[in-house]
Structure 1
């Protein structure tokens, strides 16, 4: 199956959802990390890719 990555939008992530994603990352997230993730569009887009791949 072909995935068009340009059509996948960044996820809107809350701090409570970061706890769940922390399991996927495999390392604990510190306050600075959480702040950067919430501001970084590219990281949220990567999480969108993973979510899209898991649902297919």
Structure 2
């Protein structure tokens, strides 16, 4: 289960980064902001899973 969440987090981060870059390239601030938010959400999901893994190992 954790592996799936990590993959979802990474995919979300990559999609967010792409949206953010597309927004920068086109000058669309709304798209850029949505991309940034999605990227941060993906990073947080990955961080949560890393913390969970750290506690499982102890």
TM-score, scaled to structure 1: 0.36
Instruction: Decide which structure has the larger Cα Rg and report it.
Output: 2
TM-score, scaled to structure 2: 0.35
Structure 1 or 2: larger helix share? 2
